[in-house]
Amino acid sequence: MDAFLTSRIITDILEGLTNGMIYGLVALSLVLIWRSTGVLNFAQGAMAMFSTYLGMIIFAHDLSYWPLVAIAVFMGFALGGTTERVLVRHLYGKPEINPIVVMVGFLIVLEAVAAAIWSSTPRGIPNPFSPIDWQLQGKPIALSAFSVYEIVTALVVMTAVAVLFRFTKLGLQLRAAALAPEVSRLLGVRVSRMLTLGWILSTGVGTIAAVLVASNFFTGLNPQLMDSIFAFGFIAAAIGGLDSPVGAVVAGVILGIGLQFVGDFINSNAIILTALIILIVSLMVRPSGVFTRNTARRV
């Protein structure tokens, strides 16, 4: 059993799972914005990175890890809400390319500003979780206190989002505002507030992903923190279907594990190439996403 748990295959699965949970979180945050406001937020990773800086650097000398995490997530909420009100609100109903261009621009601005203020040198974020892999009878198993922390946090956030949307009055209003804005208003739903709330929630989820990545001893906090992770999260969301939160999470995990095998058995340079091939093939076969239900709508 121990030999099995430390085998190459299980090692790849565990490492891929840890990465995949992060891709899943980023994909989930993209789906939340897409479903509520129809905007493909290319600045999602950069906004999460920026909120993490705002939360983790300013009080870094005075506070311990958990309060810093809380401040970062709060900064994510604030940045998400402000961005929707100031930047995005005027773009609804415009051609789809407009918000994309604006958000790509915002991405570049945020990364440049972050580098100008805080420099591009990665900073370690001290945290209570050891990154050293555990051992079984002298052999390392691809799990550490830190990777368990990542997986558990991602699971908790995903569950919380699912519970919010499925079982609460607020979740019902968020979904209704996205699906049928006009009808929702006729029923008394404050749709405009729901759109802002969609961005607040989504940026919060993205920021939690960024905090996890930045807390990783081997990465550290830096302005390009989320670039490649955003790309994988985006691919996961596109494969899973931008309308499907469950699809985004599942696709993120599968992508993480699949790419780990590619890196281990083929070549680590083949990872991004494989991801793009998967994206292209899946978009050709199922343009609306693998997990999207094609519900026939009657008029």
Partner 1 sequence: MIDVDELSVSYGAVQALRGVSFQAETGKITAVLGANGAGKTTLLRTISGLKQPTSGTIHFDETPLTKTKPENIARLGVGHVPEGRGVISEFTVEENLRLGAMTAKVALAKGLAEQYELFPVLGERRKQHAAKLSGGERQMLAMSRALIAQPSVLLLDEPSLGLAPLVTAQLMHTIRDLCNSKSLTVILVEQNASSALRIADHAVILYLGRVVANDTAATVVADENLRQYYLGVVE
- Which residues of the shown chain bind partner 1 in the complex (CB under 8 A)? 169, 172-173, 175-176, 179-180, 182-191, 295-299
Nearer to partner 1, 141 or 246 (CB): 246
Nearer to partner 1, 121 or 168 (CB): 168
Nearer to partner 1, 90 or 190 (CB): 190
Closest among 274, 217, 273, 253 to 18, alpha carbons compared: 253
- Nearest approach in angstroms of CB 170 to partner 1 is 10
- Nearest approach in angstroms of CB 185 to partner 1 is 4
- Nearest approach in angstroms of CB 87 to partner 1 is 23
Nearer to partner 1, 187 or 284 (CB): 187
Nearer to partner 1, 93 or 188 (CB): 188
Nearer to partner 1, 115 or 162 (CB): 162
- Nearest approach in angstroms of CB 213 to partner 1 is 33
- Nearest approach in angstroms of CB 186 to partner 1 is 5
Torsion angle, CA of 191/193/197/199, rounded to 10 degrees? 80
In SS3 terms, the chain reads as CHHHHCCHHHHHHHHHHHHHHHHHHHHHHHHHHHHHHCCCCCCHHHHHHHHHHHHHHCCCCCCCHHHHHHHHHHHHHHHHHHHHHHHHHHHCCCCCHHHHHHHHHHHHHHHHHHHHHHCCCCECCCCCCCCCCCEECCEECCCCHHHHHHHHHHHHHHHHHHHHHHHCHHHHHHHHHHHCHHHHHHCCCCHHHHHHHHHHHHHHHHHHHHHHHHHCCCCCECCCCCHHHHHHHHHHHHHHCCCCHHHHHHHHHHHHHHHHHHHHHCCCCHHHHHHHHHHHHHHHHCCCCCCCCCCCCCC
Nearer to partner 1, 139 or 190 (CB): 190
- Nearest approach in angstroms of CB 12 to partner 1 is 38
- Nearest approach in angstroms of CB 1 to partner 1 is 43
